[in-house]
Structures are given as C-alpha cells and as structure tokens.
C-alpha cells in the first residue's frame, strides 16, 4: 500500500467497466466521465455474455484496455441467494475467471475486482478487519455467492504472485443509490424497503411488515461514494490484501426501516415477521486501512435515501417486472 499516485488515470487511459449498467458499474461510469478519462468501454449482457469464455477472451483481446474494473456479478438479497445458490456460485465464478484470464492473456496493466462484505465470517469480530477473511463459517443464506467472491480475491493474489501484475480487490459494504434493483423478490434490503414503503404509502396501508426481527445492524454506502473510492484505489493502492470500502457507520434494520418510512411519507405502523431470517447479526466494516490511503465517504444516509427515492419515483414505471432501468 502506498500514498503515492503510482497509477494515474490520465485522459488517454482506456478503461473497460464490466457491468457498466448495474448499480456500481453505472456509478463508476459517471465518475470516470467526470474525471475525463479518455476511452470508456462497456457492453451490456446482451452484447457480451461474460459467462462465455471464448467471447470474453475475444472481446478483451480486441479492446486491449489499460484498466478493467470488474463490477459485473449476479447479485440479490437473502431470498434470491437462498433460492438460487448454485446459479450464484456458478455464474459469478465464470464471470470473474473469464475476465481475469482474459486480462492476463493480453497483459492488461491494471485490474480492480469488486467483491462483497459477505465474504467475511458470520460472527466475525466487529468492525470487520480484512484479516478476518477465512477465519470462520460464512452466513448460510449467501455462502455460495461469498465463496465465489473469495475465489476472486485469491485469484487476484495468485496473479500478483505468478505474473507480478498490480491487480487489486476491494470489498464494498451494502450499496444503494440511483439505478438500484427494486425488484419485489430479488433486490437487496434497502431498495426492497423503499419499494415496499412507497407502495404502502400510495395505497394508504395502515401497516408494513418487514422480514426478521429488525435488530441486525447494517452499513450502507452510496454507489457514488463507492465509485469515487474505486478511482482513488486504482491510482493509489497496490497491495495483495483486499481493502474494505464503507462508511464505518451502521444502523439497525429497524432504524433503517424508520428512515425509509419517513423518506417516502409512510405514516403507518411497522411490524416484523420474526419467522423470516435475519441473516448476519452485524456487518460493519473496519475502514481504517481505506482511511489510511486518504479517502473517506461523503454521502450521509438520509441524503442518499432522499436522492435514491427521487430516482425511484422517476423510474418505477419504467419496467413491468418492477426493476426500474435508466
């Protein structure tokens, strides 16, 4: 790790953002445009299926980017991960292996792999340090996805040892923001709450029922903050160890539900279905190493929630399946 700018993102830098239409990827795209990076490349899943090894290898060989940011993944909340664990494991492994092998084949100079805070043990000491990786059992509701992301971290480290390439990995906490997935059954907790409370407020429902007990604690990072952190890490960070990206602040799910209710104008009662799983009791990242590189988050949760809800209001009718798209 270094505080010296070793890998500047110059106007002529060619950057491929894998998953550029997703929550993290679209925020990265916006941040790179603001920075004036010369050539940005992105492909939709219809244009390039990253699970297809031959197609991925051919694309990277033709594009020859200077930087690849892997923000492509199959993602979802507790229900989706519990229902489709084999798909989450298989698809995410294929996406990242294909991208990393393609990058090695053509000697892409810089690669940033985006993982997830779910890689850490279910009962890791809080706040979670990077060195807690592989020290205990995972949360069963998303262990398949976590294993895939852990494999990505180890592949980054193996490439550094074998090839000497300065590839890095970053582990974001729970993300939210404009462009999130608000699907009724396949979204993460915060967009799911926004959708549920918005629908209840518009119908005039007296109550909203949320999963679990409301006691687990979660940390949330605005996607624009993640993008800003990623550009900072690409320029300043060079270490085989993954680095946490978060705010260093968490809230109970009940507190977050209350914030969402206030944001959307729901004035009814919040009830809790304790027969549904809570997931990990707490998942707060230790971001001291990130702060040591000179970066801290800037978007507070109330501000980010208001911004995200406005985006949702503008886009909620854009898709019949309940997943707004920009």
Asked whether residue 200 is domain-assigned, the answer is no
Instruction: Tell me the C-alpha to C-alpha distance, in Å, between residue 274 and each of 213, 271, 277.
Output: 5, 9, 7
Average pLDDT value for residue range 289-312: 97
Is 133 among the domain residues?
yes
Query: pLDDT at residue 321 above 70?
Result: no
Count helices and strands (H / E) in the chain: 10, 13
* Percent of the chain predicted with pLDDT > 90: 85
For residue 42, what are the contacts with CB-CB under 8 A and spacing of at least 6? 16, 17, 18, 20, 21, 25, 29
Would the annotation count 175 as a binding residue?
yes
CB-count burial class (<10 Å; 0-12, 13-18, 19+) for 159: buried
Q: What are the tens digits of pLDDT across the range 100-135? A: 999 999 999 999 999 999 999 999 999 999 999 999
φ, ψ for residue 4 (rounded to 5)?
-100, 135
pLDDT of 313 reads 96
Give the CATH number of the domain where residue 130 resides: 3.40.50.720
Average pLDDT over residues 176-181: 93
Catalytic amino acids?
A: 145
Instruction: Give the lowest-confidence range in 147-161, 178-192, 265-279.
Output: 178-192
Do the annotations mark residue 117 as ligand-binding?
yes
Contact 168, 156 (CB under 8 A): yes
What integer pLDDT is reported at residue 196 of this predicted model?
96
DSSP reduced 3-state for 96 = helix
What gap in Å lies between CA 224 and CA 235, rounded to an integer? 17
Q: Is residue 102 in some structural domain?
A: yes
> Which pLDDT value is given to residue 4?
66
Residue 173 annotated as part of some ligand binding site: yes
48 in a known ligand binding site:
no
Q: Is residue 277 part of a domain?
A: no
Q: What are the Cα distances from residue 150, in Å, to 144, 156, 189, 228?
A: 10, 10, 22, 23
20 is in an annotated binding site: yes
Angle in degrees, CA 123, 247, 30, rounded to 5: 125
* Residue 26 belongs to some domain of the structure: yes
pLDDT computed for residue 279 by the predictor: 77
Both tokens assigned to 253: 């799910």
Helix (H) or strand (E) holding 62: helix 53-63
**CA 53 to chain CA centroid, nearest Å:** 23
Q: Is residue 321 part of a domain?
A: no
Would the annotation count 21 as a binding residue? yes
- The predicted pLDDT at position 319 comes to 41
**Which DSSP string corresponds to 218-280?**
E-EEEHHHHHHHHHHHHHH---SS-EEES-S--EEHHHHHHHHHHHHT--SEEEEETTS---S
What pLDDT is recorded for position 187? Answer: 79
Number of domain units in the chain: 1
Classify residue 254: in a domain, yes or no: no
The answer on whether 29 is annotated among ligand-binding residues is no
- In contact, 42 and 29? CB cutoff 8 Å: yes
The answer to the question of whether 82 is labelled as a binding residue is no
In a domain, 135, yes or no: yes
pTM attached to this predicted model: 0.91
Range of the domain at 92: 14-179+219-249+283-299
**211 labelled ligand-binding:** yes
Tell me: the pLDDT tens digits for 121-173?
Answer: 999 999 999 999 999 999 998 999 999 999 999 999 999 999 999 999 999 99
As a whole number, the mean pLDDT across the chain is: 93
């Amino acid at each position: 790790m270094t505080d010296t700018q070793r890998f500047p993102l110059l106007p002529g830098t060619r950057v491929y953002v894998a998953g550029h239409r997703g929550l993290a990827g679209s925020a990265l795209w916006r941040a790179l445009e603001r920075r004036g990076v010369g050539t940005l490349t992105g492909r939709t899943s219809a244009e390039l299926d990253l699970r297809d090894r031959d197609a991925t290898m051919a694309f990277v060989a033709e594009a020859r980017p200077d930087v690849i940011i892997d923000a492509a993944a199959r993602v979802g909340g507790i229900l989706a991960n519990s229902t489709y664990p084999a798909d989450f494991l298989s698809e995410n492994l294929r996406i990242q292996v294909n991208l990393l092998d393609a990058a090695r084949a053509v000697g892409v100079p810089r690669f940033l792999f985006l993982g997830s805070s779910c890689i850490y043990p279910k009962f890791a000491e809080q706040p979670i340090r990077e060195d807690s990786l592989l020290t205990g059992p995972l949360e069963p509701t998303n262990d398949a996805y976590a294993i895939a992301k852990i494999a990505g971290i180890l592949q980054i480290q193996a490439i550094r040892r074998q090839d000497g390439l300065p590839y890095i990995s970053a582990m974001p906490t729970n993300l939210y923001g404009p462009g999130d997935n608000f699907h009724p059954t396949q979204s993460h907790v915060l967009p799911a709450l926004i959708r549920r409370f918005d629908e209840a407020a518009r119908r005039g429902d007296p109550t909203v029922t949320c999963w679990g007990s409301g006691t687990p604690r979660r940390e949330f990072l605005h996607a624009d903050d993640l993008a800003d952190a990623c550009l900072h890490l690409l320029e300043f960070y060079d270490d085989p160890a993954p680095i946490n990206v978060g705010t260093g602040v968490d809230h109970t799910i009940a507190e977050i539900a209350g914030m969402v209710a206030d944001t959307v104008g729901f004035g009814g009662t919040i009830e809790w279905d304790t027969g549904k799983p809570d997931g990990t009791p707490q998942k707060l990242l230790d971001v001291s190493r990130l702060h040591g590189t000179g970066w801290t988050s800037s978007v507070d949760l109330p501000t980010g929630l208001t911004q995200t809800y406005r985006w949702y209001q503008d886009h909620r009718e854009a898709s019949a399946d309940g997943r707004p798209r920009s």
